[in-house]
Amino acid sequence: MGMNQHGLKKTRLARPLGAPQLSIVIASVRSVRELEKCLASLIQQCRGQRIEIIVADCCQDEAIRSIIQKYPEVLFVRFPEKTALPILWGAGIERSTGGIIAITDSTCSFDANWVSATLNAHNSSCPVIGGAVEIGECKNWADWAAYFCEYGQFMLPLKEGAATELPGNNVSFKWETLERGREFVENGFWKTYWCRKLQEEGVQLMLTSSIVVYYEKSYGLIPFLIRRFHHGRCFAGMRVAQASIQTRAFYVLCSPLLPFLFLARIIATVIPKKRYLKEFALSLPTSILAVVTWSAGEFYGYLMGTGRSCTYIY
């Protein structure tokens, strides 16, 4: 079977008889402590059910061995060096056999009803379903800014039903959906562009407030801003990879408007929820820095392409 540059299979194996009902793919880039907290919030929900848990990790901490021994029911896919989240997700998805596949990362913990809510949601015909992302433990204003910038729109209360965007750390889909948009699955799992491709083909994305994860990621300010720049550049570079010179020029010329558009979108999604307004106000200067940094990355991506930025998505 053919392999691509990241060692991922180009064609998925057929699901075996008696395959799990649900596969949960967890990308783990950061600390073992985060991974243990993530698994501890999930494992009890899965016992006694046809569920497989796959952790694709690139943790360099030797303590990962104790986690592997503690959870023998979990399949670990190990990478020897720091690896971007989409590549880890892709590796986990390639090894999954569940009728439903859910992706998240180890900086999240799970609501006590997450598994049952995910399975119940997929009793519908909707192929791709996202859930809510609530704030967990925040240590500084960069953590709050990261939450509001990246997941504020998925904070409860959540507008349920048809959606144009889904959270990358709380999304699940039926197995057969992966046959669509394969260019965003074969070389890692690029959720944003995969979802856009599905929408172009008439697939409706859905959001539900019953499936909840808790965002636990913590940053220093500088690492957070560096990450935002690379995310913005990767997004833009992929967006115009096959675009004409005229289209690329259009995006470059419109880039100065991006900080205002992004900030307006964040305010419009967070303020009406009437939650954490004090934290939102106090972290707003950091959020503005984050918006400007992303916009600078996006401008550079339209102008110069992705460069190596897509390898920095952690």
Q: What is the DSSP string of 150-214?
A: HHGGGSSS---EEES---TTSEEEEGGGGGSSGGGTTTS--HHHHHHHHHHTTPPEEEEEEEEEE
Does the domain at 22-215 match CATH 3.90.550.10? Answer given as: yes
pLDDT of residue 13: 52
pLDDT for the residue numbered 107: 93
Rounded to whole angstroms, what are the CA distances from 282 to 140, 239, 265?
11, 33, 18
pLDDT at 9: 47
Q: What is the mean pLDDT for each group of 10 consecutive residues in the chain (314 residues)? A: 40 67 94 90 92 91 85 92 92 94 96 96 96 90 94 95 95 94 90 94 96 92 94 96 94 96 96 96 97 97 95 87
For the beta carbon of residue 76, count every other beta carbon within 10 angstroms.
Answer: 18
Looking at residue 85, what is its pLDDT?
A: 94
Gap between the Cα atoms of 138 and 235, Å rounded:
26
First to last CA, the chain: 29
- Identify the pLDDT of residue 296: 98
Supply the pLDDT for residue 8: 46
Rounded CA-CA distance 29/107 in Å is 9
What are the extents of the domains in the chain? 22-215, 221-312
